[in-house]
Structures are given as structure tokens and as C-alpha cells.
Chain A
């Protein structure tokens, strides 16, 4: 059976593959580097995994608590629930466990949770009041796509290397201040100097790994945003509605200088537009692609939907 397609985005897939490959290389390099420097690899790994696992399994609760979002029942917000339910049915996924509302005028929305069954979707009052019915649906579809794509799982675990290198960086910093590996190891002036040298080398290497891994993960995060835009647009069948919602939200975010959501910028939640937006942070350091680029992609998707000869094999 042939099916009228939604167009393809092969470029994005290739870039995602390339970035993930680089991240994998970095993992290998960092592991070997620490091993060759005689660092306690197992302990670091276990510590990192425990820290990430905590973030992962508590993601919904952590984010709900830090955003002070209030979970609303189907009786309180029947419409919101009905839209989410309808989109979930179309996406063939269970309805997210919790739907929450944040009491702020800043229009924004986020999704989090370790699995579709344990997921949370939250919207702000500002979003509800500013967007049209269709635009709200488009934003919810974007958030549902994050859940369907398991973005919390992908990005939380991918950032294991950030957690480990960040932790090691701090540890080495204090170690270099207080000097040496405690009581163990060599003694004497020459040996102590050598140990300091090793620590210094590891310190520099770890700093490098920390920053590079963070850049790579931010890049992957931006790609996941594109993918969620795409998934959301497919769900609602209208890429341009999402585009218009993005325009409204980003315009309002720039205009309203509220701090509410900036404090909760969180790796475990996927906001539709980063609360920490604005010209001050460069594209490379942003978790989201620039809105103009996202809109451009959505427009080309619409062209694919309408295109006369865009068929893909089903």
C-alpha cells in the first residue's frame, strides 16, 4: 500500500546520527582516558548512574515540584483532558498520567516523565488564555510527541557523561586545592609532584569532556525539538498551526520579563519554548533551535503535505 506522506527529513536524521556518534566516541575516549590515568572508573560510573537514575525516576515529581504546577482532574479541566485524550488516541499511546496547570501569565508548556504511562503534561494559564483552540492543540501535540519519542529517557541517560565529568571536575578541583590523593599513593616531594601533575592532566581533560559533552547533548536536544515539532504537526495534521503558536509564544516570552519559569529550566522537562530564551544565549548553547528555523521547517512540511508528487512508501 502506498500512502500520501508527510514528507521526509533525511537531513535531520543524518545530523542526529552524526551527533550521537560523536557523543559515543566521547564516552569511549573519556572512559579510556580515565582508565589510563588510573582513576576509579567503576566508582565514578556507579555514582553517575545512581545520580542519573534518581533524576530519571523522579523526573515527574521533581519537575512538578519545582514548577509548582498543579495537577488538574478531568472534572476541573474537561476540555484540556479531552484534547490530550484525543491526540493520545490518534498517536496510539496511553493518555499521560497527569495534566497540570502553572499559574503564570508566561505562555509555555512542558512534558516530562520517564515513560508514557508516568508522564506529565503541563501548560500555563497564559498559554490557555492566549492561544486559540487549534494552537493549544498543536502545542499539546508537540509535547505528546516528546513523550512518545521518549525524549526524557534519551536525554537524561545521554547526559550521564555530563554528570560524571561534572562531578569529577569538582572533586579534582578540591583535591588540587588540598593536594594529592589523601594518604594513599606515593610520598616524598618528587612523587607528590607527579601525582599533582596527573591530577592536573585529568582535571583539564575532564573540563574539556564536560563542555564538549554538554554541547553535543544540547545539539541532540535541539534535534529532538525539531522531531517533536514534526511529530506534533503530523498529529494535528496542520504544521502551520504549530508555527503560529510558536510565533505567539516566543513573541510573548520576549515581551514579558517574568522570572517565574527561568528558575526551572530543567534537563528533565521539555518546554515548548525555553524559558531562558532571548538573544543573550547563543544558538550553540541553547536547548532549542531558534524559532525562525523551527517555523521554516514547519512551513516546508506544509509544502510536503500539499506537494503534488510527494509519495512515500507505506
Chain B
């Protein structure tokens, strides 16, 4: 927090960081090596929409773009609003690299339109020890973190820490655990 922001109460939304995004590719080898970890074949991008004509423009372009790119990669996708003020694009593809590419396209479209600061996270679905798990790319900090939910939709912190270790061993930078936002309402 800069002195200006402190003295005048002017905090801006942080721009997204994208340097580490493609380190998620390391997930492929993590899955290959481990029996207890597999892809759920779902991924998603969550963002906070803005009430503005410019944003509607972006929204429209994004929908067109998704339509076109989904044809070439055969990716199924959905756009939906959750009840906590965020919008999700969730998509399904058997090919993990297609999922990563799809998320990347969405992120870049936001950044190109000058709305990168509205991106919250890109979410990749896994199954870990038979439980729903996610690798979250938190856009504000450009790092990943794990989420694991048990059958009652409660978080399993122990498995999360184990998953974090797996991520680290694949050279993925893991965010501090006080920022492991549960992202309530992941639609897949």
C-alpha cells in the first residue's frame, strides 16, 4: 500500500499477474505420476462484472470468442452468475491443455479490454483422494492454491496442505494459506 493510497484512502484494484499462469501445465505430470490425483475435466474463470456499456462490449465479444474457440477445440462451456456478485465461465474438455488454453483466452480478453482488474481467479478441477479438489490461479497475486471439499462441501484442510505440497513439487508457486479463499459457489 503506497503512501498516497494510505493518506487519501485511494486503493485501486490490483491488475492481474500472469507470469506464472502456464506453470499449471505441470499439473499434467503430477496427475500422471500419482494414482490419487486425476482431472475432473472442468475448469472455469471467475470475475466481477461492471455495470458499464464498455463491459457489456467485452461480455459480448467474450461470448462470440468462446463460441468460435469452443468449435475448434470441442470445449463445452457455460456462463452463469452466482449469488455472491460474481460471474463464472465454466468449461469442460477431456484435454487438459485445451482447458488451460481456454482459460488463458478469457483472461487475455479481459486484459485487452482494460478489465484485467475484474478477474478474480481461474479454477481447474481435480479429483484428489476421491474428493473434489481445485487448483486455483489467484489472478491478483499470480500464484496458485489448492481447495479440497469433502462430500458435505466442507473444506478438508489436511488434504489441501498435501495438495499444496504436490503443487510445490511440480514447481508451482503456492499462495500463502491465509489467502486460500474458498470461492463459494464453484459451479463444477
Contacts and interface: CB of A to CB of B under 8 A. Distances in A.
Interface of A: 1-4, 12-13, 16-17, 20, 78-79, 81-83, 85-92, 94-95, 117, 133-134, 137, 145, 148-151, 154, 223-224, 227-228, 230-231, 234-241, 302, 305-306, 314
Q: Which of B51, B114, B138 has the most CB of A within 10 A?
A: B51
Interface stretch (B22-30, B65-73, B117-125): B117-125
Given A86-B85, A134-B85, A224 B9 contact: yes
Interface in B61-96: 83-86
B60 interface: no
* Closest 4 pairs (CB-CB, A-B): A227-B9, A237-B50, A149-B9, A82-B184
Contacts of A150: 1, 6
Contacts of A145: 9, 11
B114 A2 contact: yes
B51 A148 contact: no
Classify the interface of chain B: helix, strand, loop or mixed.
loop
Given A4-B114, A87-B85, A154-B6, A149 B51 contact: no
A227 B14 CA distance: 17
B116 interface: yes
Interface residues of B, number: 43
B48 interface: yes
Contact of A3 (B84, B117, B181): B117
Contacts of B7: 16-17, 20, 154
B13 A305 contact: no
Given A85-B181, A89-B181, A150-B6, A238 B13 contact: no
Contacts of B52: 4, 237, 305-306
A197 to B, nearest CB: 40
B53 A306 contact: yes
Interface string B174-188: 000011011111000
Given A4-B115, A224-B9, A237-B51, A79 B83 contact: yes
Interface in B31-47: none
27 contacts: A4-B54, A4-B113, A81-B184, A82-B184, A82-B185, A83-B85, A85-B84, A85-B183, A85-B184, A86-B48, A86-B184, A88-B181, A89-B183, A90-B48, A90-B118, A145-B9, A149-B5, A224-B9, A231-B11, A234-B12, A236-B85, A237-B52, A238-B50, A239-B51, A305-B54, A306-B53, A306-B54
Contacts of B179: 94
Given A20-B7, A92-B14, A85 B85 contact: no
A158 to B, nearest CB: 11
Nearest to A87: B85
B13 A234 contact: yes
A275 B31 CA distance: 56
Contacts of B115: 3-4
A298 to B, nearest CB: 12
A140 B50 CA distance: 17
Contacts of A20: 7
Contacts of B49: 237
B6 A86 contact: no
Given A13-B10, A16-B8, A86 B51 contact: no
A233 B101 CA distance: 32
A89 B84 contact: no
Contacts of A12: 8
Contacts of A234: 12-13
B15 interface: yes
A232 to B, nearest CB: 11
Contacts of B141: 92
B114 A3 contact: yes
Nearest to A75: B154
A238 B121 CA distance: 20
B131 interface: no
B114 to A, nearest CB: 4
B161 interface: no
B140 interface: yes
B11 A149 contact: yes
B185 A235 contact: no
Contacts of A4: 52, 54, 113-115
